[in-house]
Amino acid sequence: MSRAMHRFNLLISLIIAVSIASCSTSPTGRPQLILKSDAELEAQAAATFNAYRSTLPLTTNRAKIDFVACVAQAVVAELNPPYSDIEWELAIFEQNQINAFAMPGGKIGVYTGILEVAENEHQLAAVIGHEIAHVTAKHVNERASRGSLTGIGIEALAVIMGGGYTGGAYTASQALSAGAALGLQLPMSRGQESEADVVGLEYMAKAGFDPRAAVDLWQNMSAQGGKKPPEHLSTHPASDTRIENLISQWQKTLPIYNQAIADGKEPNCKKTWD
């Protein structure tokens, strides 16, 4: 087979795959490109999660462990199948970084630095709900699929996907040096972050956590300061934009929260350390 014919066949296969994948939609109705299998990503996530646990120090503070576990378990309990059928794993890393993440296959990582910004269980639930929403909305799969489509390597994809809660948005020069196509990748990432906010609010509200606390959380994040790139060159929405979007969801999520309280869902997750 000639090289030209081989390339043509690959192009046809890619067009067919994209056409099939384009039928997928996110929880908020946004069209998604899904090319990667869940099993493939779950295997990669498990290896990465184990590498984190073997490399980064885990906290030994029992009060912090109990607090984070209490919040995480309450949120996870509100998930639907197949995510409710997963035995979720939690790792709490003794790191000052203000960050958290969730991975396919039921992996949750929390850095102790974020506990200095999330002042109570409601604010931490906003963080954990948001991160779990990235998994249930298949954002990791979507990003990995888009990275494969554009030929972006793992290192470049890590730059596009990465970032903590403060100081984690990458500058234009960093994105370009990694080969990121701003018009394709970064707007999608901002859309996913906003979508994770919406879905995460529902998760926390169903669990009996006050969705209004998400605004307090992001005000705390914004107060952390740090040089941030313009929103159109960032993988995350600007704090003001994010807060406005969160407030716009209260009409939907507050009734969910009130019903959860009426049903007796009031997680008693308290900070007990200084």
Domain limits, the chain: 27-262
The average pLDDT across 1-12 equals 51
Catalytic residues: 131
Q: Residue 20's pLDDT is what?
A: 45
pLDDT in tens, 234-246: 445 667 788 888 9
The answer to whether residue 196 scores a pLDDT higher than 80 is: yes
DSSP3 helix / strand / coil % (the chain, rounded to 5): 60, 5, 35
**Contacts of residue 135, Cβ cutoff 8 Å, sequence gap at least 6:** 83, 102, 103, 104, 106
Beta strands in the chain (DSSP E): 24-25, 31-32, 89-93, 100-103, 107-111
pLDDT in tens, 20-43: 444 577 676 676 666 667 788 788
Q: Residue 207's pLDDT is what?
A: 97
Percent of the chain residues topping a pLDDT of 90? 39
In this structure, the chain runs to a length of 274
The answer to whether residue 135 scores a pLDDT higher than 60 is: yes
3 alpha-carbon distance from chain centroid = 41
